[in-house]
Amino acid sequence: MKPFGRAEMAAKLAADIPEGWYVNLGIGLPTLVADYVPAEREVVFHSENGILGMGPAPPEDAVDTWLVNAGKENVTLRAGASLVHHADSFMMIRGGHLDLCVLGAYEVAANGDIANWTTSLNDAVPAVGGAMDLAAGAKRLWVMMEHTTKDGRPRLVERCAYPLTALAAVKRIYTNLAVIDVSARGFEVRQVADGVSFEALQERTGAKLHRPA
C-alpha cells in the first residue's frame, strides 16, 4: 500500500480545478493546493479576510506584512487582484459566487454532512472561523483529509459523531488513500492509491463504498 503524500493529495486536487474557477482554500492542508496550480492556468484564489486574486507566499526578503491570508500567513497579490472588506468578502462566499471551497475535516458522512470545527461538545475553546459560511455558501465543497484517524478509526462515516459544520455539503473527498465523490448513492470511489484494493479501502471506511456508476 502506497498512500498519497500530502503534496500528492494537493497536486491531485489542484489538477481537478479548471481554469477560471474562483476558489477558497481552507487553512492548513488545503492551503497547499495553490502551489500545484500552474500560474498559466488562471485560477483565482479567495481569502476570507478580503483578498480575491491571492498569489503565492512572498520571497523572504520581500514580505508585505499588510497582506495575510485566512491562516495569517503573508501572501502576495496577483495582477487582477482586488481587496474588499469582510462583509463584501463573505458576500462572495455566502452568495454562492465561489466555484469551489476546499476544507479539512474531522469527519464526512455519506450524505455529505461535514464536521470540521470542533472535536467535542465540551471543547476547551471552540472556534469556527469561516467554515460554516464556506460549507453552506460555496458552489461546491471538497474535503482534504487523512482517510482515518491516527489510531485507525474511519473519518468517512455513516453519520458524523462530532458537531456538524454543515448538512449535505461535501461533494468530493481527497484522502491519503483515495478520491471519493459524494453522490446521491453515498460514497463513490473515483481513484485509489497504488496498492489499495477496494476491499482494503472499504475496511478503513465507516460507510458503504460504491464503485463509480
Partner 1 sequence: MIDKRVASMAEALAGIADGSTVLIGGFGAVGQPNALIDGLIEQGAKDLVIVANNAGMDAKIGLPRLMAVGRARKLVCSFPRGSTVFDELYKAGRIELEVVPQGTLAERIRAAGAGIPAFYTPTGVGTKLAEGKEQRHVGGRDCILEHALKADVALVEAWRADRWGNLTYKGSGRNFNPVMAAAATLTVVQSQHIDELGALDPEAVVTPGVFVSRVLHVPYGDPPPGNRRAEVARPEAKR
Q: Which of residues 145-184 bind partner 1 (CB under 8 A)?
A: 163-167
3, 12, 16, 81: which one binds partner 1 (CB under 8 A): 81
72, 122, 151, 213: which one binds partner 1 (CB under 8 A): 72
Listing DSSP states for 154-208 in one string gives: BSEESS--SPPSBSS-EEEEE-SSEEEEEETTEEEEEEE-TT--HHHHHHT-BS-
- When asked if residue 20 is in the footprint of partner 1 (CB under 8 A), the reply is yes
- When asked if residue 126 is in the footprint of partner 1 (CB under 8 A), the reply is yes
Which range, of 53-61, 176-184, 186-194, 195-203, touches partner 1 by CB under 8 A? 53-61
Q: Is 146 a catalytic residue?
A: no
Minimal distance in Å, beta carbon 102 to partner 1? 14
2, 6, 139, 159: which one binds partner 1 (CB under 8 A): 6
Which range, of 131-139, 172-180, 194-202, 205-213, touches partner 1 by CB under 8 A? 131-139
1, 2, 15, 128: which one binds partner 1 (CB under 8 A): 128
Contact 49/28 with Cβ under 8 angstroms? no
Residue of 191, 194, 109 whose CA lies nearest to 155: 109
- When asked if residue 29 is in the footprint of partner 1 (CB under 8 A), the reply is yes
Assigned C-alpha cell, 66: 499588510
Q: How far apart, in whole angstroms, are the C-alpha atoms of residue 125 and residue 65? A: 28
Which range, of 121-129, 146-154, 189-197, 201-209, touches partner 1 by CB under 8 A? 121-129
61, 62, 87, 151: which one binds partner 1 (CB under 8 A): 87
Q: How far apart, in whole angstroms, are the C-alpha atoms of residue 73 and residue 60? A: 12
Q: H-helix or E-strand containing 82?
A: strand 76-83
- When asked if residue 59 is in the footprint of partner 1 (CB under 8 A), the reply is no
By annotation, the residues acting in catalysis are 48
